[in-house]
C-alpha cells in the first residue's frame, strides 16, 4: 500500500471516531431532556436518512471532484452539524446534519480505493478500512461514554480553555472535543493525493440523476455476483446498527449496567469485528469471498443466545464472538461488491447504490426496533426475533447463490477488468 492509502485511512479513522463519540453525546442529551426511550434508536435513523435521500446525487458529486476534496467538504458539513448542538438545536436534527456530511463522505472514501488499488488488493484494503473503522468505533464508543460520564465532565470542565470559550456544561465541552476531531480529519483530507481518475461530465439534472441511479441500482441487483454481495452487506449494516441499540438496552436490563459502562460492550463487539476483518483479509482471497456466507447464518443464531446471559463475565466473550463472525463475513463481501461495482459502473455511483441499500436497511430495521420498544415488547423476544431473522435471511441468500451457480458459473467473473 502506498502513502496515499494510509492518509485515506487516517482521515477515515478520525472522521469515524468523531461520528461514534458524537452518537453517545447525543444520547446523553436525550436522556437529560427526559426524551422517550423510542427516540434513542431514531438518532441513528436520523443519521442515515440522507444516505437514502441523497443516494442518487452523492455518487455523481463524488465522481465530479477529486475524492480527497469531496471528503474535506463532507467533514466541514459534519463540523457544522455538530456545532448546531451548541445552539440547543434538537439532537435528532443536529445529528441528521452530521449524517448529511457522512452521506457525502462515503462514496468518496470507498470509491477512491478502486481508483488507487488493483482488484487483488481490495480485500486487504477493505480489511484495513474496516479494521480502522471498527477501531474508531471502539475508541469512539469509549470516548463518547467517557465524555458524558460524571468523571469525564468534571475532567473537561477543569480546563480553563473551555471556560474561556464560554463552554460551561459537560455536554458543550464534549461537543467541542468532537468538533476538534472532525477538524483533524479534515486536515488529513487535504493531504489525500489526487489519483488522476477522471469521469465523464456528471449529470446535474435531478430527474436524469435519479434515472441514472435507478439504472445503476438495477444493474447491480441483476448481476449474479453483485446481487449476492449487495444483499449480504445490506443485511449486515441494518443488523449492525440495530444490534448496537439492542446491546445498550440489554446491558441495562440484563446486566444492570449504566450507559457509560454499557458503551464498553459496544467496544467489545467492535474488537471482535476488527479481529474477524483482519483474519478474513489474510485468509480469504477475492475469488473465495462467497465461501464466508455461512458465517452470517451462524452469527444470527449466536445472537439469540444473548437471552440466556445475565453475567458480564459471559457477555464479553459472547459479544466478541458475534463481532468476530460479523467481521469475517462482511469484509470479503464488501470487497466483492466494490469490485463488481467498479467493473459495471464508476466507483462513486456503485458506492452510492451500496449506501442506499445498506442505509435503507438500517432505516427499516431501526424503525421496526423503535416500534417494538414503543409496544413494550419484552427484550428477550426482540433479541430472538432479531437473531432468527438475520440467520433466516442469510440462509435465503445462500440458497440464491447456489441457484445462480447452477445456471452459470458466476465465480469466473471475479477479478475481471473494467469493460
State mean pLDDT over 246-272: 82
Res. 123 pLDDT band, cuts 50 70 90 = low
Instruction: Identify whether the C-beta of residue 281 lies closer than 8 Å to the C-beta of residue 322.
Output: no
- In a 10 Å sphere around its CB, with 0-12 CB exposed, 13-18 middle and 19+ buried, how is residue 197 labelled? middle
What is the model's pLDDT at position 419? 45
- Grid coordinates of 116: 488507487
Q: Rounded CA gap, 332 and 283, in Å?
A: 10
- Rounded to an integer, what distance in angstroms lies between the CA atom of residue 141 and that of residue 145? 6
The string of pLDDT tens digits covering residues 54-105 is: 877 877 777 777 888 888 999 999 999 988 887 878 888 999 999 999 888 8
303-323: pLDDT as tens digits: 999 999 888 889 999 999 998
128 vs 6: CA distance, rounded Å: 9
Do residues 15 and 105 touch, judged by C-beta distance below 8 A? yes
Is the pLDDT assigned to residue 225 strictly greater than 90? no
pLDDT in tens, 347-405: 567 777 887 888 889 888 988 888 888 888 898 999 999 999 999 999 999 898 888 87
Per-residue pLDDT averaged across 114-140, rounded?
73
End-to-end CA distance of the chain: 25
Amino acid at each position: 500500500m502506498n502513502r496515499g492509502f494510509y492518509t485515506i485511512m487516517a482521515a477515515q479513522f478520525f472522521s469515524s471516531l468523531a461520528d461514534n463519540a458524537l452518537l453517545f453525546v447525543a444520547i446523553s442529551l436525550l436522556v437529560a431532556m427526559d426524551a422517550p426511550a423510542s427516540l434513542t434508536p431514531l438518532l441513528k435513523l436520523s443519521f442515515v436518512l440522507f444516505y437514502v435521500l441523497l443516494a442518487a446525487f452523492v455518487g455523481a458529486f463524488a465522481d465530479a471532484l477529486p475524492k480527497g476534496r469531496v471528503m474535506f467538504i463532507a467533514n466541514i458539513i459534519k463540523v457544522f452539524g455538530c456545532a448546531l448542538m451548541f445552539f440547543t438545536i434538537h439532537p435528532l436534527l443536529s445529528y441528521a446534519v452530521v449524517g448529511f456530511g457522512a452521506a457525502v463522505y462515503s462514496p468518496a472514501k470507498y470509491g477512491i480505493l478502486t481508483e488507487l488499488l488493483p482488484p487483488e488488493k481490495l480485500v486487504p484494503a477493505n480489511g484495513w478500512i474496516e479494521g480502522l473503522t471498527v477501531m474508531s468505533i471502539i475508541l469512539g464508543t469509549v470516548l463518547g461514554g467517557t465524555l458524558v460520564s460524571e468523571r469525564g465532565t468534571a475532567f473537561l470542565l477543569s480546563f480553563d480553555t473551555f471556560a474561556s470559550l464560554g463552554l460551561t456544561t459537560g455536554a458543550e465541552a464534549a461537543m467541542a472535543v468532537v468538533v476538534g476531531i472532525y477538524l483533524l480529519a479534515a486536515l488529513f483530507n487535504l493531504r489525500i493525493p489526487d489519483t488522476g481518475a477522471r469521469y465523464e461530465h456528471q449529470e446535474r439534472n435531478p430527474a436524469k440523476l435519479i434515472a441514472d441511479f435507478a439504472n445503476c441500482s438495477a444493474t447491480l441487483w441483476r448481476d449474479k455476483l453483485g446481487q449476492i454481495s449487495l444483499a449480504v452487506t445490506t443485511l449486515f449494516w441494518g443488523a449492525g446498527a440495530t444490534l448496537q441499540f439492542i446491546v445498550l438496552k440489554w446491558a441495562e436490563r440484563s446486566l444492570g449496567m449504566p450507559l457509560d459502562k454499557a458503551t464498553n460492550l459496544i467496544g467489545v463487539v467492535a474488537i471482535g469485528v476488527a479481529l474477524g476483518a483482519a483474519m478474513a483479509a489474510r485468509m480469504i482471497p477475492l475469488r473465495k469471498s462467497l465461501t464466508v456466507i455461512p458465517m452470517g447464518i451462524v452469527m444470527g443464531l449466536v445472537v439469540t443466545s444473548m437471552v440466556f446471559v445475565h453475567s458480564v463475565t459471559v457477555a464479553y466473550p459472547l459479544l466478541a464472538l458475534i463481532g468476530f463472525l460479523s467481521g469475517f463475513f462482511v469484509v470479503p463481501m464488501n470487497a466483492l461488491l466494490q469490485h463488481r461495482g467498479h467493473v459495471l459502473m464508476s466507483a462513486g455511483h456503485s458506492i452510492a447504490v451500496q449506501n442506499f441499500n445498506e442505509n435503507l436497511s438500517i432505516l427499516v430495521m431501526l424503525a421496526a426496533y423503535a416500534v417494538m420498544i414503543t409496544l413494550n415488547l419484552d427484550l428477550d423476544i426482540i433479541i430472538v426475533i432479531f437473531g432468527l431473522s438475520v440467520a433466516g435471511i442469510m440462509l435465503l441468500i445462500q440458497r440464491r447463490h447456489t441457484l445462480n451457480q447452477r445456471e452459470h458459473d458466476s465465480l469466473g467473473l471475479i477479478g475481471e477488468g473494467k469493460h
